[in-house]
Amino acid sequence: MNDNGEKMVLAGKVDLPFSYSAGKTASRFFVELRDHQKIVGKRCPRCQRIIVPAQLFCKECFVETDEWIEVGPEGTLLTFTVVYHKENHHPREAPLAYGIIRLDGADTSIVHLLGETDVAKLEHGMRVRALFSKERKGHIMDINCFRPV
Partner 1 sequence: MGKKVAIIGTGQTNHCSSREDLNEMELVYEAASAALRDAEMTIAEIDAVVLANMELFEGRALHDMWCGEGGGAFMKHSFKISTGGTSGTSGAISGYYHAASGLFDRVMVVGFEKHSDGNTSAGMALTDPFWDRHVAAAAIGNFALSVSEYMADRGVTQEQSAKVAVKARRNACNNPHAHLQMPDLTVKEVLESPVLAYPVHRLEMCPQSDGACAIIFASEEIAKKRCPRPAWVRAAVTRHDHIYLGEVKNRLATMRSLREAARVAYETVGIREPLKEFDVAEIYDPLTYAEIAWYEALGFCKDGEGGRLIDDGITQMDGELPVNPSGGVISTNPVGASGTIRVAEAALQIHGRGGKRQIPDVNLALATGYGVYCWSDVVILSSRPD
Which residues here bind partner 1, judged by CB under 8 A?
Answer: 7, 9, 12, 14, 18, 20, 22, 26, 51-53, 59, 78-85, 87-91, 96, 98-101, 108-113, 119, 124, 139-141
Closest separation between CB of residue 58 and Zn ion, Å?
A: 3
From the list Zn ion, partner 1, none, pick the one residue 110 interacts with, judged by a Cβ distance below 5 to 8 Å according to partner type. partner 1
* Cβ proximity to Zn ion, 58 vs 101, nearer residue: 58
* Cβ proximity to partner 1, 24 vs 59, nearer residue: 59
31-34: which pairs have CB atoms within 8 A and are 24 or more residues apart? 31/138, 32/70, 33/132, 33/136, 33/138, 33/139, 33/140, 33/142, 33/143, 34/136, 34/137, 34/138, 34/139, 34/142
- The alpha carbons of the chain give a radius of gyration, in whole angstroms, of 20
* Cβ proximity to partner 1, 37 vs 108, nearer residue: 108
Closest CA relative to residue 53, chosen from 79, 80, 32, 83: 32
From the list Zn ion, partner 1, none, pick the one residue 121 interacts with, judged by a Cβ distance below 5 to 8 Å according to partner type. none
* Cβ proximity to Zn ion, 64 vs 70, nearer residue: 64
Query: Binding to Zn ion (CB under 5 A): which residues in 53-112?
Result: 58, 60-61
| Whole-number Å distance between alpha carbons of 42 and 70 | 9
Among 33, 39, 40, 44, binds Zn ion (CB under 5 A): 44
Q: Is 4 helix (H, G, I), strand (E, B) or coil?
A: coil
| Whole-number Å distance between alpha carbons of 25 and 37 | 17
User: Where on the chain is the footprint of Zn ion (CB under 5 A)?
Assistant: 44, 46-47, 58, 60-61
